[in-house]
Structure 1
């Protein structure tokens, strides 16, 4: 998506558009959680015994949040440097447009996910 924004507009819009979408989604989620539908669903009389790994003092939430953030940083950092380098080394001359490169990377990733979900991942394929 960012590639198409870069191709149609400029680099500033590649930050502004996703940021605006994130803010709108966050505000709509905030409005949803403040609604009466959510409040009636989480009343104490509607709660059952809690089951899970969370500690009684709530520290499990903090641990889980930090663990997920750490994993996201590793994935984002790795992909930020890995994907462009793979395209540079293994697929020279395929595309000079960033939108086309992003589309090719997305299709490759989607085909690998689809193959893994359908059980075709065990077959040997060469790229």
Structure 2
């Protein structure tokens, strides 16, 4: 007795839809990913022999960071232009109407004096009353 063999069906896996799905997923992840570039300024603070540490307070102070080239950064966000108008606008936005909070100016030791005066002028025009300058403690001479 001879059994008939069934003809084998060729099984093909169509990869075209799988490749389409992979490319759509890739496109989705590329579009939804946010790319941020952290920028920080390197500031070498000037030295001072006397001074008082910042007392703990309920509100976090605003910080104006001034680099050696005179560029401004407020709370870690760099400003595009280093002029009084853009500094005033950025300070108003960051303060959100609360001009009673402390304002800390951290300027590099080699910063042009005019940049520090511009920051102090902007603080004065907006009505900040608590203004501090950041320094580092002077090291004793060997």
- Per the shorter chain, which TM-score range? under 0.3
Q: Which has the larger radius of gyration?
A: 2
Structure with higher helix content: 1
TM-score by length of 1: 0.18
TM-score by length of 2: 0.16
Structure with higher strand content: 2
Query: Highest relative contact order (Cα 8 Å, sep 6+), 1 or 2?
Result: 1
